[in-house]
């Protein structure tokens, strides 16, 4: 079992086929699901799948939470994507080490729940009957959660 932060290889091909749309309000629906330390996630992850997803607790339920896209922009020479606001799950008891951002829209030619990227938290993060928050970095060339240089 290993978790390796990466943009998924399948996503790289899918964006060249124009199968993902991050445009705010008119684009696809993206979600973020949380996983425990037993998960095996890497650049080879192709879909959101439930093994080793954290248990339902508080406002967290299977499949995770919906993200609100901010229309991608260019920062220096890097295309960046951001989600705003940060994503929080309240009244939750969660122990998670990773997350998968995935496209939950039905798109012709796109595998259902196609993975975009794997986020490794660098260790298990917890909340106990509290708020578990995913804080997204600034939408800039050196920090954005999703960037193409």
- So what's the pLDDT on residue 55? 97
Mean pLDDT rounded to a whole number for the chain: 96
- So what's the pLDDT on residue 88? 97
The answer as to whether 49 is a domain residue is: yes
- So what's the pLDDT on residue 93? 98
The answer as to whether 67 is a domain residue is: yes
Q: Are 126 and 95 in contact (CB under 8 A)?
A: yes
The answer as to whether 94 is a domain residue is: yes
Task: Write the pLDDT tens digit of every residue in 31-56.
Answer: 999 999 999 999 999 999 999 999 99
> Quick check: 143 pLDDT over 90?
yes
Q: Domain limits at 124?
A: 6-148
- So what's the pLDDT on residue 1? 64
Which pTM does this prediction carry? 0.96
Task: Write the pLDDT tens digit of every residue in 98-117.
Answer: 999 999 999 999 999 999 99
Total domains present in the chain: 1
The answer as to whether 22 is a domain residue is: yes
The answer as to whether 1 is a domain residue is: no
């Amino acid at each position: 079992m290993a978790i390796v932060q990466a943009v998924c290889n399948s996503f790289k091909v899918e964006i060249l086929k124009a199968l993902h749309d991050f445009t705010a309000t008119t684009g696809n629906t993206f979600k973020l699901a949380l996983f425990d330390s037993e998960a095996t996630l890497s650049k080879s992850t192709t879909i959101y799948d439930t093994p080793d997803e954290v248990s339902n607790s508080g406002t967290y339920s299977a499949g995770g939470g919906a993200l609100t896209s901010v229309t991608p922009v260019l920062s220096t020479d890097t295309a960046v994507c951001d989600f705003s606001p940060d994503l929080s799950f309240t009244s939750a008891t969660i122990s998670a080490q990773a997350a998968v951002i995935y496209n939950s829209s039905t798109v012709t030619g796109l595998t259902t729940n196609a993975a975009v990227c794997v986020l490794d938290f660098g260790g298990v993060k917890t909340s106990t009957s509290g708020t578990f928050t995913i804080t997204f970095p600034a939408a800039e060339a050196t920090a954005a959660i999703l960037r193409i240089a």
